[in-house]
Amino acid sequence: MVETFEGVRCPAADLTGFIEDLFTRAGADAPSAKAVTKAVVDASARAFDTHGVRLVPHYIASIEGGRVTGKPRVTFTRKTPSVGHVDGGSGFGHLASYRAIEEGCAMATETGVAAITAGNSSHHGATGCYTAEAARRGFAAIGVTHADAMVVPHGGVKAFYGTNPFSFALPVPGEEPMVLDMATSSIPFNRVFLRRATGTPLPPDVAVTGTGEPTTDANATEAVLPLGGAGFGYKGAGLAAMVDLLSSAFTGMPHGFRLPSFSGPDFATPIPMGHFFLVLRPETFQPAESFYGRVTEFLSDLRNQPTRPGEKAMAPSDPEKPEAADRARRGILVDLTTWDALKEIAGRYRATVPKAS
Amino acid sequence: MVETFEGVRCPAADLTGFIEDLFTRAGADAPSAKAVTKAVVDASARAFDTHGVRLVPHYIASIEGGRVTGKPRVTFTRKTPSVGHVDGGSGFGHLASYRAIEEGCAMATETGVAAITAGNSSHHGATGCYTAEAARRGFAAIGVTHADAMVVPHGGVKAFYGTNPFSFALPVPGEEPMVLDMATSSIPFNRVFLRRATGTPLPPDVAVTGTGEPTTDANATEAVLPLGGAGFGYKGAGLAAMVDLLSSAFTGMPHGFRLPSFSGPDFATPIPMGHFFLVLRPETFQPAESFYGRVTEFLSDLRNQPTRPGEKAMAPSDPEKPEAADRARRGILVDLTTWDALKEIAGRYRATVPKAS
């Protein structure tokens, strides 16, 4: 869901150069600086703002505090023709994840499918950045990552699951890839912080107090509910469990509940996160013409469905596409709080701030 | 969710012999009769009653009407070391799906991961039967299938998606596999029929009228909402879209909206359904001890979480396990309507009805 906000606009190329420079000055090597910058700028370009440029100050704090290694030793092990593992060397999760997609695409070119795990990684931003990257290269992909606890089990009173996103992306002829990228909770915890700041209530059936009572009061909220809410949250929780197991048992990392908190205050201890990616080569499954013909037909049928007044039947990532197109024309939108924080970091490192309007 | 009902009890072995006999007499070959029987008895044994023995009369009608071929020519094509396709020959989806899992496990033993599609298939009952079968053989599995339209797009007024289930299963040391098997709508359409019969209202935020208005009146219900309801149904709809594309574009079948209705009245025209399975060999990813240690630790941590009074923190399939254990001891429970229908079919085919109590 696209939320509008006040901000400055900066062309993607200028913003990319600026953020890469900040990471480099803060101690990242070139591959790390490029990977984390590519991911956050891509997320902001696709109007996925919760996981866009606004995370840069947090990531800078992570490298400064030592939680994330700026010059990691990233290794790749190909275990079988179709299974591989990336050890992220406690570096940025974005670097490990793009590497997983790169290797996954190469392997899927040979065998049609590749499962790539990543371990000793860290927060990788929007999981959809990596499935979208695979889709831009002509592959379908599934990607998941666990995270530290913010979501109660169904019927629970205390956070156990991360918001554990699930992503799926697919190339679409003549348009940007279709990218599903969803938390397995109804809302991200960031929405709670935002509503505390704005004093507006949360929607019903998405958040609970410390005793598991449903609440719409952001200040009384201690954790969020799995997708499906009080009635059907066992489904969202089931998806969260799958994401957690794929990201931990398959990668050799602890499950989400045992991870240190992403929000700090400790920015020194690494958070050993795992991710799981699956890359599929469409042409191995069906002739390209048949495959893409069916994708196009599906999207056309869906988008032409009748709706309630003011609504439009949409495929995943359709809601963000008009805003993404606008940002491609007018520059990437960065909220004022984040822009001020970037300028503060630039001041400390004597970096040049690009023109923004 | 386990719903209690009145019924008769029959030991699994007797029930299996009875149902296999009915399918054989109705025109199924031995592999088909065994596959469909195994799936429905397994679903009932696991207390997954919506997709259990109650479907037998429907399947018998499908073979009698010609929608499903009783003696299909099922073929398997291994496209790469890790990708294969089952052509179901318009036979029972259960046969095609068990074949997909069998081949998938063999391939994953070699390469660690296998993606198996099935096409020219038909309704396969509970998708969890196949992922559970893989888990019993020591593999993790994901399985999805599309279905004919019963679920509106987010904001829509007319059914477009099937209930498009998503399943994930995993072997667990010392206990039955963990099986997530969930429709991507909040409720299955069967729940609407049941509530029409019982005159009880539906829960809020799961169903809509023909103009897309939310309703709890089963009689006014024309379609159901994606998981997440009016507020967050774009997530359930996104999952449904993924399931549909995996089951159609990847398998060569039409997408769900273009499939004939499963509910009839036409029982002569085949419904060309597709399914998609992914089989993972845990030991390829991590040493067995590490993998299963993490699975056990995850489940133990989850099940020991504090909850609201009267609740218990559970993993997928935990809610059905006590009832499943009870049925293993006391016999499989078959509701009276279904039992009468089975006796009627047995009468027509001069089959022997087993003792039930």
Asked whether B221 and B159 are in contact (CB, 8 A), the reply is: no
CB contact under 8 A, A298 and B245: yes
Average pLDDT over residues A325-354: 97
* CA-to-CA dists, residue A227 to A147, A160, A315, B145, B295, angstroms: 16, 14, 19, 21, 23
CB atoms within 10 A of CB B12: 15
For residue B233, give how far its alpha carbon lies from the nearest alpha carbon of chain A (Å): 9
Structure tokens at B18: 């009875």
3-state secondary structure B67-128: CCCCCCCCEEEEEECCEEEEECCCCCHHHHHHHHHHHHHHHHHHHCEEEEEEEEECCCCCCH
Q: How do beta strands B113-121 and B83-87 pair?
A: parallel
CATH 3.30.1370.60 in chain A is located at 7-186+225-294+333-349
Q: Nearest-CA distance from A27 to chain B in Å?
A: 32
Is residue B1 very low, low, confident or very high in pLDDT (cuts 50, 70, 90)?
Answer: low
Report, as an integer, the average pLDDT of A110-134.
98
The token pair that represents A155 in the structure block? 């019927």
Q: How far apart are CA B72 and CA B92, in angstroms?
A: 8
- Measure CB to CB from residue A186 to each of B110, B232, B255 and give the nearest one: B232
Q: What residue ranges of chain B are covered by domains with CATH 3.30.1370.60?
A: 11-186+225-294+316-321+332-349
In this prediction, residue A281 carries a pLDDT of: 98
Whether the CB of B318 is below 8 Å from some CB of chain A: the reply is no
Tell me the mean pLDDT in the region A279-294. Answer: 98
Instruction: Provide the pLDDT confidence category of residue A257 given band limits of 50, 70 and 90.
Output: very high
User: How confident is the model over A6-44, as pLDDT tens digits?
Assistant: 899 999 999 999 999 999 999 999 999 999 999 999 999
CA distances from A151 to A216, A255, A349, B296 (A): 15, 14, 37, 20
- When pLDDT is cut at 50, 70 and 90, the band that residue A264 belongs to is confident
- C-beta separation of A102 from A118 below 8 A: no
Q: Of B118, B149, B48, B121, which Cα lies nearest the Cα of B278?
A: B118
Distance CA B80, CA B239 (A): 27
Tokens 């209705």 correspond to B261
> Averaged over A55-82, what is the pLDDT?
98
**Does residue A194 register a pLDDT over 90?**
no
Phi, psi of B264 (to 5 degrees): 85, -165
Report the b/e string of A84-114 with b at 16+ CB within 10 A: bbbbbbbbbbbbbbbbbbbbbbebbbebbbb
Mean per-residue pLDDT over chain A, rounded: 96
Contacts of A297 in chain B (CB under 8 A): 255
Query: Average pLDDT of A99-124?
Result: 98
Average pLDDT score over residue span A266-284: 97
- Residue contact A156–B306, C-beta within 8 A: yes
Cβ within 8 Å of residue A277, ≥6 positions away: A97, A100, A101, A104, A115, A116, A117, A118, A130, A131, A134, A141, A142, A143
Q: Which amino acid is at B139?
A: F
pLDDT digits (tens, 9 = 90+) for B212-237: 999 999 999 999 999 999 999 999 99
Helices A93-111 and A128-136: crossing angle, nearest 10°?
40
Asked whether the beta carbons of residue B154 and residue A295 sit closer than 8 angstroms, the reply is no
**Closest residue of chain B to A79, computed from CA coordinates:** B284
Q: Is the separation of the CB atoms in B243 and B255 below 8 Å?
A: no
Count of C-beta atoms within a 10 Å radius of residue A13 = 12
Q: How confident is the model at residue A2 (pLDDT cuts 50, 70, 90)?
A: confident
How far, in Å, are A306, B162, B191, B216, B243 from residue B236 at the CA level? 18, 11, 18, 19, 11
Which pLDDT band, with edges at 50, 70 and 90, does A348 fall under?
very high
Domain A7-186+225-294+333-349 sits in CATH 3.30.1370.60: yes
Specify the 3-state DSSP secondary structure of B354.
Answer: coil
Kindly state which CATH superfamily the domain B187-224 is placed in: Hypothetical oxidoreductase yiak; domain 3 (3.30.60.50)
Enumerate the β-bridge partners of residue A169.
A141, A179
pLDDT given at position A1: 60
Residues shown for chain B: 357
**Which of B1, B82, B302 is opposite residue A112, by nearest beta carbon?**
B82
CB-CB under 8 Å, A235 with B314: no
Residue whose entry in the numeric block shows the structure tokens 């179709």: A82
Rounded to two decimals, what is the model's pTM?
0.98
Query: Is the minimum CB–CB distance between B2 and chain A shorter than 8 Å?
Result: no
Q: Which residue from A110, A227, A313 is facing B156, i.e. has the nearest CB?
A: A313
Please list every residue in chain A whose beta carbon sits closer than 8 Å to the beta carbon of residue B297.
Answer: 255
CA-based diameter of chain A, in Å? 55
B255 Cβ under 8 Å from any chain A Cβ: yes
Radius of gyration of chain B (CA): 20
Residues comprising chain A, all counted:
357
Q: Which CATH number fits domain B11-186+225-294+316-321+332-349: 3.30.1370.60, 1.10.3720.10, 3.40.50.300, 2.40.50.140?
A: 3.30.1370.60
Location of structure tokens 């099922």 = B74
Which range has highest mean pLDDT (A301-305, B185-189, B264-268)? A301-305
A107 Cβ under 8 Å from any chain B Cβ: no
Q: Which amino acid is at A251?
A: T
- For residue B307, what is the nearest residue in chain A, using CA coordinates? A156
Core vs surface per residue B270-305: b (16+ CB within 10 A) or e: bbbbbbbbbbbbbebbbeeeebbebbebbbebbeeb
Q: Count chain A–chain B contacts defined by CB atoms under 8 A.
A: 261
What is each CA distance from B295 to A244, B172, B198, B271, B306, in whole angstroms? 10, 7, 41, 39, 20
d(CA B354, CA B15): 7
* B-contacting residues in A 137-176 (Cβ below 8 Å): 140, 153-158, 160, 166, 168, 170
Q: Distance (Å, rounded) from C-alpha A146 to C-alpha A161?
A: 8
Angstroms from B58 CA to nearest CA on chain A: 27
Element of type H or E holding B242: helix B229-248
Domain A187-221 falls in which CATH fold?
A: Wheat Germ Agglutinin (Isolectin 2); domain 1 (3.30.60)
Tokens 């348009």 sit at which residue? A175
Contacts of B166 in chain A (CB under 8 A): 239
How close, in Å, is residue A81 to chain B by CA atoms? 6
Beta strands A83-87 and A113-121, pairing class: parallel
Strands B175-182 and B207-208: unpaired
Q: How is B27-54 classified by DSSP, letter by letter?
A: T--HHHHHHHHHHHHHHHHTT-GGGSGG
Mean pLDDT of B153-174: 97
Full 3-state SS string of chain A: CCCCCCEEEECHHHHHHHHHHHHHHHCCCHHHHHHHHHHHHHHHHCCCHHHCHHHHHHHHHHHHHCCCCCCCCCEEEEEECCEEEEECCCCCHHHHHHHHHHHHHHHHHHHCEEEEEEEEECCCCCCHHHHHHHHHCCCEEEEEECCCCCECCCCECCCCECCCCEEEEEEECCEEEEEEEECCECCCHHHHHHHHHHCCCCCCCCEECCCCCEECCHHHCCEECECCHHHHHHHHHHHHHHHHHHHHCCCCCCCHHHCCCCCCCCCCCCCCEEEEEEEECHHHHCCHHHHHHHHHHHHHHHHCCCECCCCCCCCCCCCCHHHHHHHHHHCEEEEHHHHHHHHHHHHHHCCCCCCCC
Query: How much is the average pLDDT of B288-311?
Result: 97
HSE-up (13 A, CA, CB side) for residue A107: 30
Residue with tokens 């989400």: A256
Span(s) in chain B for CATH 3.30.60.50: 187-224
Q: A56-65 and A12-26 helices cross at what angle (nearest 10)?
A: 20
What pLDDT does B159 receive?
Answer: 97
Please check whether residue B286 touches A, CB under 8 A. yes
- Please count the helices (runs of H) and the strands (runs of E) in chain B: 11, 11
Distance CA B211, CA A318 (A): 23
* Owner of token pair 């606008």: A326
Q: How does B193-214 read in b/e, with b if 16+ C-beta sit within 10 Å?
A: ebbeeeeeebeebbbbeeebee
The pLDDT confidence band at residue B189, using thresholds 50, 70 and 90, is confident
B:174-193 residues touching chain A, CB 8 A cutoff: 178, 180, 182, 186-187
Interface confidence, given as ipTM, is 0.98
**How does pLDDT run across A134-189, given as a tens digit for each residue?**
999 999 999 999 999 999 999 999 999 999 999 999 999 999 999 999 999 999 88
Contacts of A167 (CB under 8 A, 6+ apart): A127, A128, A130, A131, A141, A142, A143, A144, A179, A180, A181, A182
Position A197 confidence tier, pLDDT thresholds 50, 70, 90: confident
